[in-house]
Chains A and B, each alone.
Chain A
Amino acid sequence: MKNNITGWRDVYSFTLAQVLKSKAYRITFILLVLMVLVSMPITGKLLFNNSEDENALSPVNKVYVNNTTSYTDIDFKDLESTISFSHIEFEPMNKDYDSLVDHIIEEENSSVILNISEENGAFSLHLSMSKEGQIKRAHLQRLGDALLSSFTNMRMESIGVSDEQLLLLQTPVVSKVTMTDINGEEIVDENTSISFSEYWFVYGILFFVMMTTMLTGTQVATSIVTEKSTRVVEYLLITVKPLALMIGKVFAMLTAAMIQMLSMVAALFVSNKISAAYAPEKETMLSQLLPSDLFANINLTNMLLCIVLVFLGIVFYAVLAGLAGATVSRLEVLNEGLTLFTMTSLVGVYIGLGAANTLMGSGTNAFVVFAFLFPLSSPFVLPGAILVGKASLPLIGIAIVLQLAFIMILFRFVARVYETLILHSGNTIKLKELFKISKSI
């Protein structure tokens, strides 16, 4: 075994150095980091651009009230206590409607008309504004909300309902069904589901692992096919065994991908800090988007477990991609050879996604546990689940053991067929033929 992997470090250092030196890697790296750097400020700008300070003065200066209801003493005094609306003057509509509209359009576009009507016991508040001027729909919406609230209070007062009574009326009624045991003790059913923001966090981790896996796998496969098609492999194999070649490549590509991914994470945090400048409460984007209790689960043990899981997952998929790469002889047909790798990783990703959805919808069940343990899906979904506190330590332990076992089985298979594959030139070797080769050795 020792001889089989002797020299992998030399392969590793050379491959890594060449990847880091390559123009394609550098350009991709710079572009990705730049994109991530600007992502949070742009998102913040888009989300908060239209929001304004709650205390900012409304551009509405006067409201003409056209009241056609039975209530005659509508005054909207409540609004005087609100800073943004305190300056607004309320005036009953004395002109006819059309001339007032003309007047507002031509001379007074900071004024609006409030039509209060009553039909079959239902009230309607309708605001009209000029197209010209500074007033926007959002301003009118805020004013409308405030007017509605004031109007409701006024109605309640008029029928003799106090504030306390109103509050009592508005208190929601909650119903709860519980189960009890034979002694009448309530059986507490632990809530294992995740919130919407936790789901997006798990999804984000899954996407990140998938990107790294795909990137590493494709690079390993490309590198192997390049060495095959340029015949370099013949010169390498007189010094190192095929397995050492594969291991060196897998780890080099893994390192290159990790450098790229970790730089993106670092850029994300920098971008997040910058985004605070655009948020109304100077809150960063991540603090608004991430689950509030996330940091309760981020500790050294959980982080290490996540890293181990992701690492093992990437190694597994990269070895699979390496095997796929060895089945073809030319770069042009690499896609054909990578079908097995792509299909397998997609199966893992979809099972992971399904588990994340199930977690949000109904909490942990048999399918979720399967997804946590199944070596194809566990690297995608389990790290996220660990960080939102939905995976127990024994479950994680079993998942890691299963992952290791899967890698060992794959490595044994690869070790058997790789020597034959690496020197093969010609048509793409199919899965059936791979098993045939494995049996014949």
Chain B
Amino acid sequence: MSLSVKNITKKYGDKLVVDNLSFEMNEPGVYALLGTNGAGKTTSIRIILGMLAKNGGEVLWKGQSIDVVNTNVGYLAEERGLYPKYTLMDQLMYFAKLKKVDKHTAMERIKYWSDRLDVNEYVFPAKGKGRKVAKSNQADQLSKGNQQKIQLMVALLSDPELLIIDEPFSGLDPLNTDLFKSIIREEINKNKFLIMSSHQMPTIEEFCSDITILDRGKVKLQGNLSDIKKSYGRVNLIVKCEQDIASYIASFNLRIINKTPSEYHLRVEGEDQAMAFLSKLIGDNITVIKFELREPSLHEIFVEKVGADQDEE
């Protein structure tokens, strides 16, 4: 067991913002912490990182209480955090020093990550005349995406064992999103422990094996993503036919989740109902172009779990 979060609770006055959150990461990989805005994800992350005092519970790393000073943790926050007027090199060296990375190693890693993330021109700007250094080496001169790259560098400089990434792809173009994804995959392959928080459900499905969905501080759903999906069964049916099948859908009493000009996205009770529906279409000589029966996506599960509660209220 490497990371164990046990019953952490946080209150601001009378308001409970995190209520008994528990999860474990026994193997390296990516754990997803999901939730709506204000669900308590960032507060939970801050508590896990030891940044914020908690009202109850404990966070253990390798069996010991997590301690910011002695644990090698990397953190990529949702919002960028760079000194706007200091040079990038100064900032990177400072963060490395705080992480107890020696100067030589820090410089090597800065060079490596600058190359990898294609930010050499900002981290090592060409010197102008005399001692003047180009202004582009200050954070406030960088685009949002480039700031995000520098921020990722900061998180990786100490080669952390535990990496917490909050909305890692926000502000990135598709090329850089792919670059970030490849880096995350590399970290997974290096047997690192990652906690990821994102609103992009396909990304979570791409990387995470275990999830927790928070809603207003409470755990709404938790467990292995495949198991959760299996528990829902194959109830999502996507059908595309040459003829209109609205009357068939009505006769089978199927719920329409979504309808596009060419496809129906339907909810069935189970595989048997789906097969009966297909037999009926074929029997009536309807030309079926696409018939896909699958488990619900994480997006659908999320909307169902969190949305249903919010609708009730």
* Chain A interfacial positions (CB closer than 8 Å to B): 3, 6-7, 10-11, 14, 17-18, 22, 226-227, 230-241, 419-420, 423, 436, 440-441
Assess whether B94 is in contact with A10, with CB atoms less than 8 Å apart.
yes
**From A230, A234, A240, A423, contact of B98 by CB (8 A):** A240
Assess whether A234 is in contact with B77, with CB atoms less than 8 Å apart.
yes
Q: For the complex, give the distance between the alpha carbons of A440 and B54 in Å.
A: 12
Residues of A within 8 A of B84 (CB): 230
Residues of A within 8 A of B77 (CB): 231, 234-235
Residues of B within 8 A of A17 (CB): 90
Q: For the complex, give the distance between the alpha carbons of A18 and B86 in Å.
A: 7
Q: How far is the CB of B81 from chain A (nearest CB, A)?
A: 4
The CB with the most chain B CB atoms within 10 A, among A227, A231, A238, is that of: A238
Closest residue to A420 on the B side, CB-wise? B53
Assess whether B83 is in contact with A10, with CB atoms less than 8 Å apart.
no
Residues of B within 8 A of A240 (CB): 68-69, 98
Assess whether A6 is in contact with B80, with CB atoms less than 8 Å apart.
no
Assess whether A234 is in contact with B81, with CB atoms less than 8 Å apart.
yes
Assess whether A231 is in contact with B86, with CB atoms less than 8 Å apart.
no
The segment from B44-52, B176-184, B202-210, B281-289 that touches chain A is B44-52
Assess whether A423 is in contact with B46, with CB atoms less than 8 Å apart.
yes
Q: For the complex, give the distance between the alpha carbons of A238 and B164 in Å.
A: 11
**From B85, B90, B99, contact of A239 by CB (8 A):** B99
Beyond A14-B97, A440-B13, list 6 extra A-B contacts (CB 8 Å).
A3-B69, A234-B51, A236-B98, A240-B98, A423-B46, A423-B51
Closest residue to A237 on the B side, CB-wise? B51
**From A3, A18, A231, A234, contact of B90 by CB (8 A):** A18
Give the number of A-B contacts (CB < 8 Å).
Answer: 75
Assess whether B81 is in contact with A233, with CB atoms less than 8 Å apart.
yes
The CB with the most chain A CB atoms within 10 A, among B46, B50, B53, B81, is that of: B81
Assess whether A419 is in contact with B52, with CB atoms less than 8 Å apart.
yes
Assess whether B68 is in contact with A232, with CB atoms less than 8 Å apart.
no
Given known A237-B51, A423-B52, contact A232–B67 (CB-CB < 8 A): no
In the complex, which residues 56-96 of chain B have their Cβ closer than 8 Å to any Cβ of chain A? 67-70, 73, 75, 77, 79-86, 90, 94-95
Check B211 for interface membership: any CB of A closer than 8 A: no
Q: For the complex, give the distance between the alpha carbons of A419 and B55 in Å.
A: 13
Closest residue to B70 on the A side, CB-wise? A3
**From A22, A230, A238, contact of B51 by CB (8 A):** A238
Check B154 for interface membership: any CB of A closer than 8 A: yes
Q: For the complex, give the distance between the alpha carbons of A184 and B84 in Å.
A: 78
**From B70, B90, B154, contact of A235 by CB (8 A):** B154
Given known A230-B82, A241-B69, contact A235–B75 (CB-CB < 8 A): yes
Assess whether B52 is in contact with A232, with CB atoms less than 8 Å apart.
no
**From A7, A230, A231, A235, contact of B69 by CB (8 A):** A7
Q: For the complex, give the distance between the alpha carbons of A10 and B13 in Å.
A: 34
Closest 6 CB pairs of A and B: A231-B81, A239-B98, A237-B51, A232-B81, A14-B94, A235-B81
Residues of A within 8 A of B85 (CB): 22
Interchain residue pairs with CB less than 8 A apart (11): A3-B70, A7-B69, A10-B94, A18-B83, A22-B85, A227-B83, A231-B79, A233-B81, A238-B75, A239-B69, A240-B69
Q: How far is the CB of A6 from chain B (nearest CB, A)?
A: 5
Residues of A within 8 A of B46 (CB): 234, 423
Closest residue to A23 on the B side, CB-wise? B85
Closest residue to A244 on the B side, CB-wise? B69
Q: For the complex, give the distance between the alpha carbons of A193 and B84 in Å.
A: 54
Q: For the complex, give the distance between the alpha carbons of A239 and B66 in Å.
A: 12
Residues of B within 8 A of A227 (CB): 83
* Consensus secondary structure, chain B interface: loop
Residues of A within 8 A of B81 (CB): 230-235
Closest residue to A7 on the B side, CB-wise? B98
Residues of A within 8 A of B94 (CB): 10, 14
Residues of A within 8 A of B51 (CB): 234, 237-238, 419, 423
Assess whether A234 is in contact with B75, with CB atoms less than 8 Å apart.
yes
Q: For the complex, give the distance between the alpha carbons of A84 and B75 in Å.
A: 85
Assess whether A238 is in contact with B52, with CB atoms less than 8 Å apart.
no
Q: For the complex, give the distance between the alpha carbons of A142 and B313 in Å.
A: 97
Assess whether A231 is in contact with B80, with CB atoms less than 8 Å apart.
yes
Residues of B within 8 A of A237 (CB): 49, 51, 68
Q: How far is the CB of A309 from chain B (nearest CB, A)?
A: 33
Q: How far is the CB of A2 from chain B (nearest CB, A)?
A: 9
Q: For the complex, give the distance between the alpha carbons of A10 and B93 in Å.
A: 11
The CB with the most chain A CB atoms within 10 A, among B51, B73, B84, is that of: B51
Q: For the complex, give the distance between the alpha carbons of A3 and B81 in Å.
A: 24
Q: For the complex, give the distance between the alpha carbons of A422 and B82 in Å.
A: 16
Residues of A within 8 A of B75 (CB): 234-235, 238
Q: How far is the CB of B173 from chain A (nearest CB, A)?
A: 22
Residues of B within 8 A of A436 (CB): 13
Q: How far is the CB of A312 from chain B (nearest CB, A)?
A: 27
Q: How far is the CB of A252 from chain B (nearest CB, A)?
A: 12
Residues of B within 8 A of A6 (CB): 69
Closest residue to A239 on the B side, CB-wise? B98
Residues of B within 8 A of A420 (CB): 52-53
Residues of A within 8 A of B79 (CB): 231, 234
Q: How far is the CB of A167 from chain B (nearest CB, A)?
A: 74
Residues of A within 8 A of B68 (CB): 237-241
Residues of A within 8 A of B98 (CB): 7, 10-11, 236, 239-240
Q: How far is the CB of B216 from chain A (nearest CB, A)?
A: 19
Q: For the complex, give the distance between the alpha carbons of A436 and B14 in Å.
A: 12
Q: For the complex, give the distance between the alpha carbons of A57 and B84 in Å.
A: 68
Given known A235-B154, A236-B98, contact A226–B83 (CB-CB < 8 A): yes
Residues of B within 8 A of A22 (CB): 85
Q: For the complex, give the distance between the alpha carbons of A241 and B13 in Å.
A: 23
Q: How far is the CB of B20 from chain A (nearest CB, A)?
A: 19
Q: How far is the CB of B54 from chain A (nearest CB, A)?
A: 11
Q: For the complex, give the distance between the alpha carbons of A241 and B71 in Å.
A: 13
Q: For the complex, give the distance between the alpha carbons of A238 and B53 in Å.
A: 13
Assess whether B83 is in contact with A238, with CB atoms less than 8 Å apart.
no
Q: How far is the CB of A88 from chain B (nearest CB, A)?
A: 67
Residues of B within 8 A of A419 (CB): 51-53
